[in-house]
Amino acid sequence: MKQRLVRAAPKIRKSMNTLFLISFLTAFFALSQIHVFARSSVIEEPFLSLETISKEAREAVSVRTLLYKGKYTRIWIYKDLMKKFSETSDKTMKAVFQSVEKKVIPALLETFSVTAEDAGIDKKHPVDIVLDDVYEKSKHLYRGYYSPSKLGDHTILIDLNLAESASVTNLKDPVLSTVYSLSHELTHVLFFQKKPDEEAWVNEGLADLMSFLLGRSLFGYDVYKVHSIDAYLRNPSRSLTSFDSWDPSGADYGKSFLYFIYLYDHFGGNDFLKALYQGSDTGLKGLQYALNTADGAQWIPAAIRSNASVYTHFSYALEVNDERLNRYRLFGFQSVLVPNQYQGDFDRAEVHDNPCGNLKPFQSAYVPIGPLISDQDALKTFTLSLEGTQQPLVAYRVKKNANGVISRIPLSALNGKPLSFKKDDFVLILNLGSEPSDYDLELTDTE
Ligand SMILES: [Zn+2]
């Protein structure tokens, strides 16, 4: 069942000094699709405006009326909206408030194995959720917004969607939709208290993963951003560790979500999340700490738990998505169905006998061999040579044999030797270093 939703809060991190976190959604995102399974309904709704947030947010937060007060949160409304805040709105927001207080925040604290007090979210330091309704003021729309530098690190803005022109009538379940957005933003709040310098790709991947997991465990629906995932899978050659919040396709949100669900699926589930929260490092270092220490990941050999190895296996999974093809089940996804739909359906760069380009750190290139082979079933032999500007550049021939096993042959071991390919085979080139690298793959037809 496909449904539309609009949704949560992307976020941008600037430098370490500015502590700038923001969650935004452009008007393009208003058309985003989210997949919802099970008994969920959903959801089309507009978002807070960019202009309003940047120019008026402080005022919006200061001129507000308290609606509900709980153990962890206070919900406020921007004062001039009170007259539009109907009985229905009140009922909706009360249900949201109760879900957040009784389910979402306790579940987040349990996942990260921290008390409310230690997490910095308790009665003395409640999270202020401020309701705004600014749809008509801009084409740049938000659903949820968190910016420690602009609003303080305990404040979230949420769009109320009261305007008549907003698609309220399509909003089949405003409670679930708002809780979904808040789960994302509350994850940001919790993580910011612990790791204020965390990198954007980690923050966003984790926040989307948590809204997905909480939706599933607390409310019985699976919801994720199909639009963003689709955008990423169309062009999976994006650096894992860079993040462009402003890209209207949302591809980097799809990328981070898929990477985090992959980590969750394979490297210890909640143990992994707990270790990630408990460690003090950020970015790839923080992930490595969690990969090293998560209890549920220890059955996989340490060498396979390195960031480089995990990213390499993830890159295979994107292409082949079949867990059976690896003894540690690392060539596929478990929790989300989306990648299956895209198997073998990537938009790839045009192929010729000399693919070359530049790869950022933790970026990969898929080079399909098929277009160079005219006969569907024929084996064709090539000699491959790969040159790059730096050492950690690696390439593999990836192919499924008759038994469904993938053979991975590092080309470094094969430079200059003939290698046979079938139509479905491809070469995966990865930059596992810390600097950008040019690559130059030469395919010489030896027949
Ligand atoms: Zn976000």
Q: Residue 414 is encoded by which pair of tokens?
A: 């094969």
Distance 185 CA to ligand 1 centre (A): 6
Tens of pLDDT, residues 31-57: 334 444 332 322 223 333 444 444 555
Distance 192 CA to ligand 1 centre (A): 11
Separation CA 255–CA 239 (nearest Å): 9
Q: Are 381 and 395 in contact (CB under 8 A)?
A: no
Burial class (CB in 10 A: 0-12, 13-18, 19+), 179: buried
What is the distance in A from the centroid of ligand 1 to the CA of 447?
53
CA of 144 to the centre of ligand 1 (A): 8
Tokens of 192: 């910011």
Report how far ligand 1's centroid is from the alpha carbon of 123 (Å): 24
Instruction: Say how many Å lie between the CA of residue 245 and the centre of ligand 1.
Output: 9
Give the strand pairing for 73-78 and 127-132. Answer: parallel
Q: Where are the chain's structural domains?
A: 2-224, 356-445
Between the CA of 67 and the centroid of ligand 1 the distance, in Å, is 25
Dist CA 81 CA 344 (whole Å)? 50
Class of domain 2-224: mainly alpha
CATH class of 356-445: mainly beta
For residues 93 and 444, give the distance between their C-alpha atoms in angstroms, rounded to a whole number: 65
Ion ligand 1: residues, Cβ under 5 Å:
9-11, 23, 207
Q: Rounded to the nearest whole angstrom, what is the distance from the C-alpha of residue 214 to the centroid of ligand 1?
A: 15
Q: What's the CA-to-centroid distance between 225 and ligand 1, angstroms? A: 13
Q: Quick one: CA dihedral 197, 198, 204, 210, positive or negative?
A: negative
Calculate how far, in angstroms, residue 408's C-alpha sits from the geometric centre of ligand 1.
36
| Interval between CA 254 and ligand 1 midpoint (Å) | 12
- Cα(428) to ligand 1 centroid in Å equals 31
In 3D space, the residue among 225, 219, 46 whose CA is nearest the CA of residue 133 turns out to be 46
CA of residue 25 to ligand 1 center, whole Å: 9
- Phi (first) and psi of residue 394, to 5 degrees: -130, 155
Ligand 1: distance of its center to the CA of 391 in Å? 35
- 411: closest CA among 392, 384, 430? 384
Distance 9 CA to ligand 1 centre (A): 4
Between the CA of 11 and the centroid of ligand 1 the distance, in Å, is 4
Distance (angstroms) between ligand 1 centre and the Cα of 57 equals: 17
Residue 183 C-alpha to ligand 1 middle, in angstroms? 10
User: One digit per residue, pLDDT tens: the chain, 447 residues?
Assistant: 333 333 333 333 333 333 333 343 332 333 334 444 332 322 223 333 444 444 555 555 567 788 999 999 999 887 777 777 888 888 889 999 999 999 999 999 999 999 999 999 988 999 999 887 765 444 445 678 888 887 889 999 887 765 433 333 333 577 888 888 899 999 999 999 999 999 999 999 999 999 999 999 998 887 777 778 888 887 788 899 999 877 878 889 999 999 999 999 999 999 999 999 999 999 999 999 999 999 999 999 999 999 999 999 998 888 777 888 788 999 888 887 654 434 444 444 455 667 788 889 999 888 877 777 777 667 778 777 777 766 667 777 776 655 555 566 666 666 667 777 877 777 888 888 888 888 888 778 876
Separation of CA 155 and ligand 1 centre (Å): 14
Question: Tens digits of per-residue pLDDT, 319-371?
Answer: 777 888 788 999 888 887 654 434 444 444 455 667 788 889 999 888 877 77
